[in-house]
Amino acid sequence: MGRKSVGWKTLWSLTVLCFLKMKPMHPYQLQRVIKATHKDAFLQLKSGSLYNAIARLLEVGLIEAEETSRVGRRPERTVYHITARGITESAQWLGELLSQPNADSTPFYAALSFLPSLNPKDVIRHLQVRDGHLEKEIKSQKEVLKRLIPKIGRLVLLEEEFSIARRIAERNWVRSIVADLESGKISWNPDLVRQHAAQFFSSDEMCQPKLKTSKRS
């Protein structure tokens, strides 16, 4: 990707890429879609974050400006679309987030929310890789406990036990999802998902401004 690619991989950028893969949109539409689909659950809603992500993605050529228009007295709005390179990069990045365990679960949480943009067979492959990594980590941590408990006792290693328990629970859940994908209990067609998403993002419900609500305490 070169030197200019440094810094573009944020969850905001992932969100922009995945949504523009569904349909070209301007920033205001993206903001509405993010809130409507509850992606703000894993995004830090800071002023300018969306526009910073768009600027980074433009710089590295993963998205491009399609058109700029103005309606009435409203400010100009630029519609962006994802490039072929952006489609490739976002799919590869999603695969990495799905297959590589991390101490911070937020990226995995985000990747799971965008599974429909990938092919189910690719998701199976990525999750099986994650399963393998988790199994190795569990085995390694158990060996640490086996070696150290007789020497220093269990009390000071309880956090290690907790870490193992979390990894076992995650591994078992990942295996259950893979099983459901393989059996067809969970299935989707990425092309149909994109079509339905594009229709929803263009619907009157999405375009109409929402009434202001009281701020959360």
Q: Does the pLDDT of residue 18 top 60, yes or no? A: yes
pLDDT value for 76: 78
For 67-84, what is each residue's pLDDT tens digit?
887 665 666 789 999 999
For 32-42, what is each residue's pLDDT tens digit?
999 888 888 88
Give me the residue label for tokens 């990747």: 111
pLDDT value for 199: 84
Q: Which CATH number fits domain 3-90+190-207: 1.10.3720.10, 1.10.10.10, 2.70.98.50, 1.20.140.10?
A: 1.10.10.10
CA distance readout (Å), 155 to 84, 142, 149, 152? 54, 15, 9, 8
Q: Does the pLDDT of residue 13 top 50, yes or no? A: yes
Q: Within its chain, how far is the Cα of 64 from the centroid?
A: 21
Q: What is the DSSP letter of 78?
A: E
Lowest average pLDDT, out of 55-69, 151-165, 190-204, goes to 190-204
Tokens standing for 133? 């990594």
